[in-house]
Structure 1
Amino acid sequence: MSQVKKKSVKPLRRELESYRDKGIELYLNGAPSTPKKIAKACQIAEDGVYMRDYTEDEEGHIACVSFDFIRNT
C-alpha cells in the first residue's frame, strides 16, 4: 500500500467520525457502517473507487453520507 493512501485514510476517518458524532448516518454500499470500515474500504479499493453521496434533511442539513463502490471499466 502506498504512503499516499495511508496518509489519506486518517483525515477521511476523522471527517467521518465528526459526521457520526453529529448524528449523521453513514452507509457503505447500502448498509449502515462505521468510519473505520468506510476508511478501510476506500483505502484498499483497487479496481474502482468509492463515490460519496450526501442526503439532506428537510432543512438542508446533511442527514446521511453514503459511499458506493464504482468499478473501473
Structure 2
Amino acid sequence: MSGYEKKDVQNLFTELNGYEKKGVDITLNGLAASPMQVVQAHILRENVIYMRDYVMNEKGDIKELCFTDIEI
C-alpha cells in the first residue's frame, strides 16, 4: 500500500466522507474530487506529499478542503 497502513487509508476516507456530507467542497490539484479519488491519489503516488488547505466561510466554518501535491 505504498507506505500507508490500511487503517490510515480507512481513517482518511471516513474523514473526507464526513466533510463531503457536510457540504464541504473537496479539490485535488484544483479539480473537484471525491473522497475516494483523494484516497486513491495518496495510495498510488508514492513520491508525492499532499498539502491540505482549509478554506473558511465568513462564519469560520470549513467550506472547502484543497489537496495540492508537492513532489519530494
Common fold: TM-score over 0.5: yes
Q: 1:63, CA displacement in angstroms?
A: 0.4
For the residue of structure 2 that corresponds to 1:41, the secondary structure is helix
1:25 and 1:64 in contact (8 A); partners too: yes
SS at match of 1:59: coil
Instruction: Output aligned runs, 1:57-68, within 5 Å.
Output: 57-68=57-68
Residues 25-52 of structure 1: per-residue CA shift (max 9 Å, x gap): 0001100010000011012221121111
Q: What is the total number of aligned residue pairs between the two structures?
A: 72
Residue 71 (1) aligns with residue 71 (2): yes
Secondary structure, counterpart of 1:52 in structure 2 = strand
Gaps of 5+ in 2: none
Identity of aligned residues (%): 38
Superposition pairs of residues 49-60 of structure 1, within 5 angstroms: 49-60=49-60
Q: Which amino acid aligns with 2:51?
A: M
Aligned to 1:26: 26
Show structure 1 runs of 5+ residues with no match: none
Give the alignment's TM-score, normalised by structure 1.
Answer: 0.89
> Within 2, Cα distance between the matches of 1:4 and 1:34?
19
